[in-house]
Copies of this chain bind each other. A is one copy, B any other.
């Protein structure tokens, strides 16, 4: 699931993922490998001190949680803030400590239903960037997929 969160962040417009917890190394390596092959820029890192990262973040913090305010109610405010400052989006696993709720500028629910942190992140990013992330150009890719009605075509990426 951590790998999917990281790959979703990359595909949908984020520029970095930082994985907290002790089992993140495999996920980080997979995400880096995908970035090497399909392009970036995108960074994948680990942290053992996510609380310090939250505390020292120079910008706004969104925490995605099914208990939060409705995304459709707060997305305009988040978008406006993101125009001026970097945004840290916290995606939790099962039990998120309450101090994360307190550290966040917004606790945001993509629906107030139980579903998937990957789905929540995906919808949040697509709304944050208003679809512009789908037009992103990838740099340093070895290969690219050619979108097509039927088939699976992968070609070498053009050199830059």
- Complex: A60 Cα to B97 Cα, angstroms: 44
The DSSP consensus for interface residues of chain A is mixed
Pair B115/A4 contact, Cβ less than 8 Å: yes
- Chain B, residue nearest A101 (CB): B150
- Complex: A114 Cα to B3 Cα, angstroms: 11
Binds B, one of A46-54, A67-75, A79-87: A67-75
Pair B4/A109 contact, Cβ less than 8 Å: no
Known contacts A71-B134, A149-B69; is A118 also within 8 Å of B4 by CB? yes
Size bin of chain A's contact surface: 35 or more
Pair B11/A70 contact, Cβ less than 8 Å: no
Which residues from chain B contact A112 at a C-beta distance below 8 Å?
A: 144-147
Seed contacts A11-B119, A67-B147, A123-B126; 10 additional CB < 8 Å A-B pairs? A5-B116, A7-B113, A70-B134, A70-B147, A71-B134, A72-B135, A104-B150, A111-B134, A112-B147, A113-B138
Footprint of B on A, CB under 8 Å?
1, 4-5, 7-8, 10-12, 34, 38, 65-73, 101-102, 104, 106-107, 109-116, 118-123, 126-127, 131, 133-135, 138, 144-153
